[in-house]
A and B are shown apart, each in its own frame.
Chain A
């Protein structure tokens, strides 16, 4: 199961990673090898077997809907790279 350079670039876009040319080249090789190994799961005929998304048979761990204090804004912004008033400042989304 080989992955192409174009597919690597497409997935990098989906994953929001600006990869360097070297990284794209290395990942193309590494991901192809890993995908070949994990493709082993397709050997099994599992039609009729339900999927497991979670190891516990828990359904809806409800909490009480009670009002409580949120984090103070000073704490919310404590680690912010850039703040403007009570907003996170980011570059334009053009």
Chain B
């Protein structure tokens, strides 16, 4: 493998090797594909790999909701099996312009709906720390690939926690950026007022570097905004930083004791690094956030997924009539979770229920926005566990949709408010990674990177899964 240790090499180090011509882009790409050949049969992070690198830079894995010209893109769904985009998503195009060759497309819960990758129509991915456990979801393929040394970095997409939660369960760094900072053009839509693409990497600096490559206004996505210049974090001090600890996010029912302990230790370390730490409250955001999300996201999904009608692309199941063809195609093509959410969303939007469900949820969303804004009058960053639990066993929650939905209890409120969130690994519980969630006001990514980097240096977490060391 050319002496390249893909488990340890950071993207920044890889960039150095390329600049000094110690390795070629093709050798680097090959080293990762060799690692994929060795470990992916067990982990199933990739739905497909790309053998010939296009670009001499640090290679990258893209979640399979991101359109890639000439490379099949399925969103983990049978209804898109065989679909080969004729154009790149803006984020894929930006990676190309930066010279980052595509390693492959990573596994995801179908249409990014899930918290474990078990809803993928092509089978689940496995957690590199313990393959009997889930890697989290929906972006479990990207997160597991980065932790298992099958990619130096990758992109995920996050609607209610699909970047942060898998990063927490796999022990790496994932950013859900501020809504509007990264283009959604060419990204297969789930819930458009929530979806955001973001970077996953082995450390905070790599995460910031990749964010700087993909972020920025895009004429093809009118919801994008101008983004402040990204600063790669350097300082190991947190002097002057005000950290808020929202009681409800840290004491919620269902948070495992080992998760709480690791997060408490990280908060104590932040104080030692000079941060001022204080308690705060988000009373209704946490109590009502999940219910609000599971009305708004399915409502938007039922609308977005209306486009899969068997007419213009991908799967068609023939029938004698147009209506029969559409209804049969959708029944055969969609798996259980998209059907559940389409049904839930269509119900919440239907005549007679719209105000009570969708309308009321939109007002709850305002409450969530306001509560976070109030907290940020006193604090720069809010902290909590990212996931209430460490990685759970495959099959443990698959039969109970509501139990699975609770996996995102702590990530959802800030997503509803369009706020950025960074997962940083902060320790182990029962030998499995625990993730610390850092939340900031809109466009505060540089503060999150600075905080995450300082903590990462002080905590000294080893991101390589113990069984692979």
Residues of A within 8 A of B (CB): 3, 7-8, 10-12, 14-20, 23, 27, 30-31, 33-35, 37-44, 46, 49-56, 58, 61-63, 71, 75-76, 78-82, 88, 90-94
Contacts and interface: CB of A to CB of B under 8 A. Distances in A.
A34 B295 CA distance: 10
B366 interface: yes
B327 A80 contact: no
Contact of B331 (A19, A49, A61): A19
A80 B84 CA distance: 11
B291 A39 contact: yes
B343 A58 contact: no
B325 interface: yes
Contacts of A31: 340, 343-344, 347
Contacts of B442: 55-56
B193 interface: yes
A53 B363 CA distance: 9
B468 to A, nearest CB: 38
Interface in B324-365: 324-328, 330-331, 334, 339-340, 342-344, 346-348, 350, 356-357, 359-365
B322 A90 contact: yes
B417 interface: yes
A40 B311 CA distance: 39
B94 interface: no
A44 B311 CA distance: 43
B418 A8 contact: no
A20 B361 CA distance: 31
B50 interface: no
A49 B325 contact: no
Given A38-B344, A55-B416, 10 more contacts: A17-B342, A20-B331, A37-B402, A38-B291, A38-B294, A51-B366, A55-B179, A56-B418, A61-B224, A91-B318
B402 A34 contact: yes
Contacts of A93: 321-323
Interface stretch (B153-161, B237-245, B302-310): B302-310
A78 B84 contact: yes
A46 B361 CA distance: 10
